[in-house]
Structure 1
Amino acid sequence: MELRHLRYFVTVAELGSISRAAAKLYIAQPPLSAQIRQLEEEVGAALLVRWSRGVRLTPAGSSFLDDARAILARAEQATQRAREFQSGERSTLRVGLVPSATQSLLPGLLRRFVASNLSVQIEAQERVPSARQLQALRNAELDLGFVRPASVVGQSEWVCAIDDPYWVALPHGHALARSTKPIAVKALEHAVFVAFSRYAESDFFDQTASLCEGAGFKPDVRHTATQFMSVLAMVSSGLGVAIVPASCAILAQPGVAMRRLTGIARKSQLVLIANQALREDAWGRSVLQIAEQELRALEVSVRAASVAAR
């Protein structure tokens, strides 16, 4: 299978007609039809069916179209990045963020890059689990990321980290919200929980579940969301409580009370990771300096919120 097969298929699928696709691709219709049949034989599934007005996708074709578009986009990105390296004028930065760091980090990070003299085009990949970011970094699919690793990140990826303690988000009407004092995890034993989706942020989900199990109970998770603001919206609506990082707590919303959790031995951290290529050139080191500055600024806000809550 070659990239041209994918380009031919995507063009036919988008135009819904082999004749119109052939005209756009500047090739004759019979060779194009032959290329599509060759692709279907290699895939082992019918991707298109003919009808009176042209062609339409089969269920297998619809699935294959999404992947084909993604592969072509990645190939284009790879070409562009190779040209950037060749010219010494890198500009594209692929950034991964776990869901619980998107709202607290991305806006400030973007502002810092705008204010800098660096030419940076950011491709933000949000809601990427920590383990997946690490793998993408090692496969050169990401340049840097912000993760909440369940285990120690290798020194080859680690740039810096901040402590990001566990807090709890409570509906304002919740009994535990009446006190401003820190709350023990055990006090949440009979609560209904809202949580970050395990699919979207498996490390944090497992870490918070482990906190509850360490306190002697299994959390009753009835609602999940892939974004922090959605988690808070559910809490505000009274659907349950949520264990969140302190960096999320500083973004408290109306109807939500944030309280520190006590009696926790496990350390919660937000870690900046980067691939080796980014560390090895001047542009990359400048990028990392800006990213670290934003992480440190967030650390200051987290410490101030923790002091104010004592």
Structure 2
Amino acid sequence: MDLRHLRYFVAVAEERHFGRAAERLRMAQPPLSQAIRRLEGELGVELLRRTTRRVDLTEAGRAYLERAHAILAEVDEAADLARRVAAGGVGRLAIGCVGSATYSLLPALSRHLSTELPGVDFSFRGEMLAPDQAEALRVGAIDVALLRPSAAGPSLVTHLLRHDPLVVALPADHVLARRRRLRAADLAGTDLIVHSADRRSTMYDVVLRVLRDAGVEARIRHEVGETSTLVTLVAGGLGAAVVPEPVSALTLPGVVYRPLVQPTTTVALAVAHRADRAEPHLLRTVEIIRHLVPTAPATP
């Protein structure tokens, strides 16, 4: 017995006629009749009662037809599932994001992925520092990362997405908030809030390099792990912060953002995954992100 016998039987049982069933199956009638008799012989039961005008199901045939429908449906569903898996339409993925991508990109990305890949179960982890993401990729805690490429190592595949300019987040009543744009030298003597050095933040090194190149001694008052906390402390008047421009998507009362025009430094954003990962749904997700990000605005 094979699946062809089941399909032959279903066709005859539904048509109640060998000739019409043969036409439906696009085969000659004699081989169809022989196949049904072989099926009955293998089962040891009569499935069909044949007359000169029609074919009727026996009680055993009606029971067998019900199960044959279920079996063939399962087979078709299994084939469809296999095709969707091979095409990257099924699976589970966890995506990590640095703080700036969490606010500027994640809302649109989550909607886009759910539309493009409805069979993939996505989860998202925002506010992850780039080194933490790189480690999470290596241990399998996340599958795809939106991070700073400088944090990625040789075990990761990275694709550059964009370069984000820097801005200064200031308390709305700060004296520098009156200006339309700022230079790094303007931050001399200003209390600063930065991402944590203890957690190896990429932005910590970027900010200190920008200030050092401008001859400014950084006056760091607070170090934090999450971008939302950093902006909240700015809103509380505890200091200023140099951040990637997409962070300005996080609007809080009491915070203003001003472009940092000198030096014209940018920080890169990349999408990364482990080099030994090549599942179709993961690669499709990476491609969707690569096509989406260049068209995504840096600010809302």
* TM-score range relative to shorter protein: 0.5 to 0.7
The within-5 A match list for 1:1-310 is 90-150=90-150, 157-180=157-180, 182-200=181-199, 202-264=201-263, 266-278=265-277, 280-298=278-296, 300-302=297-299
Q: Secondary structure at the match of 2:105?
A: helix
Q: Secondary structure at the match of 1:301?
A: coil
Q: Secondary structure at the match of 2:160?
A: strand
Q: Secondary structure at the match of 2:168?
A: strand
State the Cα distance separating 1:195 from its structure 2 match. 1.7
State the Cα distance separating 1:243 from its structure 2 match. 0.4
Give me the whole-angstrom Cα distance separating, in 2, the residues matched to 1:251 and 1:156: 29
Query: What amino acid is aligned across from residue 213 of structure 1 in structure 2?
Result: R
State the Cα distance separating 1:221 from its structure 2 match. 1.3
Give me the whole-angstrom Cα distance separating, in 2, the residues matched to 1:106 and 1:200: 23
Give me the whole-angstrom Cα distance separating, in 2, the residues matched to 1:233 and 1:156: 33
Query: What amino acid is aligned across from residue 242 of structure 2 in structure 1?
Result: I
Q: TM-score, normalised by structure 1?
A: 0.61
Structure-2 change in CA distance of 1:113 and 1:152 (3 Å): closer
Query: What amino acid is aligned across from residue 282 of structure 1 in structure 2?
Result: P
**Alignment partner, residue 50 of structure 1:** none
Structure-2 change in CA distance of 1:145 and 1:257 (3 Å): same
After superposition, give the CA deviation of every residue in 1:109-134 in whole Å (9 maximum; x if it has no partner).
22112222432222333443323433
**Alignment partner, residue 78 of structure 1:** none
State the Cα distance separating 1:250 from its structure 2 match. 3.2
Contact 1:91–1:121 (CA under 8 A) maintained in structure 2: yes
State the Cα distance separating 1:141 from its structure 2 match. 4.4
Give me the whole-angstrom Cα distance separating, in 1, the residues matched to 2:156 and 2:221: 38
Matched length: 215
Give me the whole-angstrom Cα distance separating, in 2, the residues matched to 1:100 and 1:267: 13
Structure 1: state its 5+ residue gaps: 1-83, 306-310
State the Cα distance separating 1:90 from its structure 2 match. 4.6
Q: Secondary structure at the match of 1:232?
A: helix
Query: What amino acid is aligned across from residue 103 of structure 2 in structure 1?
Result: Q
Runs of 4+, deviation exceeding 6 Å: none
Query: What amino acid is aligned across from residue 223 of structure 1 in structure 2?
Result: H
State the Cα distance separating 1:193 from its structure 2 match. 0.7
Give me the whole-angstrom Cα distance separating, in 1, the residues matched to 2:260 and 2:227: 18
Structure-2 change in CA distance of 1:99 and 1:200 (3 Å): farther
Give me the whole-angstrom Cα distance separating, in 1, the residues matched to 2:129 and 2:246: 17
Contact 1:208–1:243 (CA under 8 A) maintained in structure 2: yes
Give me the whole-angstrom Cα distance separating, in 2, the residues matched to 1:292 and 1:232: 28
Structure-2 change in CA distance of 1:259 and 1:201 (3 Å): farther
Percent sequence identity is 25
Contact 1:131–1:149 (CA under 8 A) maintained in structure 2: no
**Alignment partner, residue 59 of structure 2:** none
Query: What amino acid is aligned across from residue 249 of structure 2 in structure 1?
Result: I
Structure-2 change in CA distance of 1:284 and 1:277 (3 Å): farther
Q: Secondary structure at the match of 1:268?
A: strand
Give me the whole-angstrom Cα distance separating, in 2, the residues matched to 1:165 and 1:155: 28
Contact 1:100–1:227 (CA under 8 A) maintained in structure 2: no
Contact 2:95–2:144 (CA under 8 A) maintained in structure 1: yes
Q: TM-score, normalised by structure 2?
A: 0.63
Structure 2: state its 5+ residue gaps: 1-81
